[in-house]
Every structure is written in C-alpha cells, then in structure tokens.
C-alpha cells in the first residue's frame, strides 16, 4: 500500500544513488505543503520541491499533448503541411508580427530590469525570417510517417519495418522566442510537443501561441494541443514535466547544471533525452596551418555569442610568433564590428606570447548588468579551459600555446564539452588522424559557426548535443523533427498454411 506524502520532517535522511544519503533541510520542510511533490535527483542527491500548482500546470499541458497525439493518427499528412504553411503566413503578416514584437520588447525591458542577458531574446527580423524559412522547410519536407524502410519476404508472408510517430516530445528552452518553429517540427512525423520556456521569453511565447500557432493549428484541422505551452515560469514546472512517464523524448536546451539536472530527472523516469549543456567551440592551429585561413576562421567564428562560437584557441608553439598576432587582431576586429572591445583569457604559462600592452591594458566589457572595467587579458588555469564564456557584446575567448597536435587533442578530450572543434592544417594525414582522435560529434577545418541544423542540413534543429555524457545511440548530435520517430514491424500473411 502506498500513501501520499503529507509533510516533510527536517533531518529526515533520504537515500539516493544506491548507497548515499541526503537530508531534508529545515527550509525545505517548512516550504512543503500537502499535495506537493518531492524529487530526489539521483546524481547529486538534491531534493527538488514541486509545488502542486506547477505539477498541475505540467500535467495539463501533457494531457493535452497526449490527447492530440491520439487525434493526429487520423490527420492526413497534407493537413500537417498546411499547418506549417499557415504558421509561416501568420508570422509573415505585419499585423500579427507587430503583436508578437510588442510582447517581445516588453520581455526585453523586464529582462534588462532584472540584469538578465538579452542576446538571444530579441525577436528581430533575422529571427523572424529564420522561423518562417524553417516552417516552410517542414511544409516541403517529404512525409515519412508510415514509410516502409525495409521489407523481408518469406514464403507466404512478409515483415515490413515502418516509420511511426514516437509520441510526446517535451522541451525546456532558455529565453529564445523562436523555439516554436523549431519544436513544431516534431509534428512532421506525427508527434506532439509540450514546451516550457524561460520566464524571460514567456510573454513572447504566449503571443506567438495566441496570434500565430493556435490559429494555424485550428485552421489546418489539427488538434490544438498538438503544441502546448506549460503556463508556468517556475523551474519546478520543468522538473514536473520531465518526470512524467508519458513523455517519449525530453529535450533540454541551455547550458550548465540546469540542463544536466533536467536530463537526470527524465532518465530517472525512463525517458530518452536530448541534452545540450555546455557549449563553446575549440579551434586548433597545427604546425602546417595556413595563416590566412586561420585568421579568417577566428574572425568569422566570433560574429555573435551562441553555442558554436569560438571559445578556446590552441596554437602550436612553433607557429605562435606568427599566429598569435593574427589571432589577437581577428579578436579585436570581432569586437570592433560590434562597437566594442574584446576580452582574452590566457592560459598560465602562455603569457610570454602576448604583447606587453595586452598584459597591462584594461577594457570596458559589456555584461548583462552593464559595462564593467576589466583587464584586457587575464590568466586562466589550464583546468579551466572547459569554461564557456557567455559574453553579451564583448567577444571573449581563451588562448593556449601547446607543444604539438597530440597535446592539443589531449586537452580537448579532457577539458572541452566534447562538442565542436576545427583543425587548421594543410596536412591531410593530420586531419585524418585528428578526426579519429578527437571525441566530438562536430569536426571541421573552418569556421565553428557551421554547427546548426538549419544552416548545415537545411533542417530546423530541435537541439544540439555535446558528448559530455557519452556518444549518442543511433542518431546525430543534431536532433531535427524528422529524426523523432520509432520503427514498428508489420506482418502480412498471404498463405494460410504458414506455421512455425
């Protein structure tokens, strides 16, 4: 017999991870109310309190998505294509976009007042164009639901492998209002989506739902709950959503501890996950690096701060005298292009390769809370190479001088988020060995900013994954809507005498 948890007692030991124990704090015990849920995160042992209101907000959205998934089984693929087209048309409509834009500007004002980053929050014309292009890409994508991908013929019977919808896909996004165009891609293969977006972008998200998404669903004849928004700004609603066993896939986009925590919660519930935690791209200049290519790659990998922006540069010692000045010049150019300075973190032991003026100068760095005066170049311990610099307007990178390519590879595999890396070298053999040796899903010989589903594969991405938690089973680290499916087996018997 199981009983509902009615209260918490401070000091109560709670076992986790098989042989470890955490303890209920007095503060947690005081906050707990009857009806609340308590999760034990099995990696850290952190006790997560989910108030009943957040539990209900997540449950309502998932129930709508569950009902919509059943209803979608009888919706023709053409209706799904029509939905994508109507969604795009509404975003194109100036009157509709003006309403969304007004909500977005209000979100930005609130975020700035709270000292929050707004670099990814602005729904500008570029974001609008990308959303529209993504939706039209899904409109024109071939329908794969029900596609037979293989058939094994036997005497008197056959077995077909058939692409089928996976189910409910849950998303937790940081403050990026374009996520609906990305997440809606799961409808292409007959899935439904439920989303929780950060508080910074909630107003924009609600405006997109009200003025574009829901009208497009209704007019196309799709169930409204096919894409549902969790009406809560609290992190607890995301915990509740990812703990729900009705999900088929949990996608978390963001960075740091919050993403790994969400992934752990979903995995505890037995749900497959797609996680994008720490980002930041690495660039390695080999002894045979072409100087012109190197400088261009540095400059063009620092145009704005996203997950695939250049974060760490490693230069081989034999080329440092030539390439470090080119690196510093490209970094300064990136800052100048934004009307800003730049910021460098130099790994301890590599300072000798910096000009004297870089070691003594200061710079005005634009942070979320405003401008701050900082040293232009600061020393960085080697074991901090994995830190991702979440800069606002002032380009910020780490630089290290290494003895050879093997040392660069070792540093990448040890300290990086195992995400994106480029090698600048004119040696084809070096590239082949490098590709085999680095533990990363995205490897190139040019700009790091190519890592994006829509830019690289012409498919709006649902999320990118690094390999910090290991390689991914039978899938790319770019998750796209047409990659969310399962395979069912269907047997057809024509000979009634068949028996085993």
Task: Give residue-wise pLDDT tens across range 278-310.
Answer: 889 999 999 999 999 999 999 999 999 989 999
What's phi and psi for 42, nearest 5 deg? -75, -15
Q: Give 181's pLDDT tier (boundaries 50, 70, 90).
A: confident
pLDDT the model gives residue 233: 80
pLDDT at 180 over 80: no
pLDDT the model gives residue 374: 94
pLDDT at 1 over 70: no
Which architecture does CATH list for 53-277? 3-Layer(aba) Sandwich (3.40)
Residue with the larger pLDDT of the pair 171 and 174? 171
Look up residue 153 and give its DSSP letter: E
Look up residue 319 and give its DSSP letter: G
Task: Give residue-wise pLDDT tens across range 385-411.
Answer: 999 999 989 999 999 999 999 999 999
CATH of domain 281-455: 3.40.309.10
pLDDT the model gives residue 321: 96
Q: Give 440's pLDDT tier (boundaries 50, 70, 90).
A: very high
pLDDT at 139 over 80: yes
Contact 385, 312 (CB under 8 A): yes
pLDDT the model gives residue 369: 81
Q: Give 216's pLDDT tier (boundaries 50, 70, 90).
A: very high
Average pLDDT of 471-483? 86
**What is the residue-averaged pLDDT of the chain?**
92
Q: Are strands 310-316 and 281-285 parallel, antiparallel or unpaired?
A: parallel
Contact 353, 324 (CB under 8 A): yes
The CA distance from 164 to 184, in Å, is 17
pLDDT at 201 over 90: no
Task: Give residue-wise pLDDT tens across range 325-355.
Answer: 999 999 999 999 999 999 999 999 999 999 9
**Rounded percentage of the chain residues whose pLDDT exceeds 70:** 99
Average pLDDT of 415-427? 96
pLDDT at 475 over 90: no
pLDDT at 319 over 70: yes
The CA distance from 120 to 99, in Å, is 19
Cβ burial of 1 (10 Å; 0-12, 13-18, 19+) is exposed
**Rounded percentage of the chain residues whose pLDDT exceeds 90:** 74
Query: Which of 201-215, 353-367, 467-481 shows the lowest mean pLDDT across its residues?
Result: 467-481
pLDDT the model gives residue 2: 65
pLDDT at 119 over 80: no
Token pair recorded at residue 171: 């998303």
Q: Give me the residue spans of the domains in the chain.
A: 13-52, 53-277, 281-455
pLDDT the model gives residue 494: 96
Query: Which of 155-169, 237-251, 357-371 shows the lowest mean pLDDT across its residues?
Result: 357-371
In 334-464 the beta strands, taken as DSSP E runs, fall at 343-347, 362-367, 370-375, 377-380, 396-402, 420-424, 442-444, 461-464
């Amino acid at each position: 017999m199981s009983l509902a948890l009615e209260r918490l007692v401070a000091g109560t030991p709670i076992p986790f991870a098989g042989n470890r124990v955490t303890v209920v704090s007095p503060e947690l015990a005081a906050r707990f109310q009857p009806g609340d849920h308590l999760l034990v995160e099995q990696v850290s042992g952190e006790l997560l309190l989910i108030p009943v209101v957040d539990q209900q907000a997540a449950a309502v959205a998932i129930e709508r998505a569950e009902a919509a998934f059943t209803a979608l089984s009888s919706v023709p693929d053409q209706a799904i294509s029509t939905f994508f087209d109507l969604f795009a048309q509404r975003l194109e409509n100036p009157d509709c976009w003006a309403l969304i834009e007004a909500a977005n500007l209000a979100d930005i004002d609130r975020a700035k007042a709270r000292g929050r980053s707004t670099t990814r929050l602005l729904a500008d014309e570029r974001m609008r164009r990308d959303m529209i292009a993504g939706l039209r890409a899904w409109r024109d994508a071939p329908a794969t639901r029900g596609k037979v991908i293989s058939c094994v013929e036997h005497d008197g019977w056959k077995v077909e492998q058939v692409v089928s919808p996976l189910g409910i896909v849950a998303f937790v996004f940081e403050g990026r209002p374009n996520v609906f165009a990305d997440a809606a891609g799961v409808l292409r293969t007959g899935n439904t989506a439920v989303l929780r977006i950060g508080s910074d972008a909630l107003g924009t998200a609600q405006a997109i739902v009200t003025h574009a998404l829901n009208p497009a669903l209704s007019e196309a004849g799709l169930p409204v709950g096919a894409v549902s928004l969790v009406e809560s700004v609290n992190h607890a609603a995301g915990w509740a959503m990812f703990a729900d066993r009705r999900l088929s896939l949990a996608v978390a986009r963001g960075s740091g501890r919050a993403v790994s925590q969400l992934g752990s919660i979903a995995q505890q519930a037995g749900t497959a996950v797609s996680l994008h935690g720490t980002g930041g791209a690495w660039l390695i200049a080999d002894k045979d690096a072409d100087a012109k290519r190197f400088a261009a790659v540095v400059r063009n990998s620092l145009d704005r701060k996203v997950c695939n922006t250049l974060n760490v540069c490693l230069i081989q010692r034999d080329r440092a005298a030539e390439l470090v000045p080119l690196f510093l010049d490209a970094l300064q150019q990136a800052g100048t292009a934004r009307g800003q300075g730049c910021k460098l973190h130099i790994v301890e032991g590599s300072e000798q390769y910096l000009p004297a003026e870089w070691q003594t100068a200061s710079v005005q760095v634009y942070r979320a809370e405003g401008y701050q005066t900082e040293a232009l170049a600061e020393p960085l311990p080697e074991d901090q190479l994995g830190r991702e610099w979440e800069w606002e307007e002032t380009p910020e990178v780490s630089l290290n001088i290494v003895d050879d390519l093997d040392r660069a590879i070792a540093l990448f595999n040890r300290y990086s988020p195992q995400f994106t890396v480029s090698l600048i070298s004119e040696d084809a053999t070096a590239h082949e060995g490098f590709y085999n040796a680095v533990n990363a899903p995205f490897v190139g010989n040019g700009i790091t900013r190519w890592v994006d589903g829509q830019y690289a594969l012409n498919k709006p991405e649902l999320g990118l994954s690094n390999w910090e938690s290991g390689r991914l089973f039978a899938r790319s680290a770019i998750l796209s809507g047409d990659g969310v499916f399962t395979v069912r087996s269907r047997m057809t018997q024509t000979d009634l005498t068949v028996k085993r």
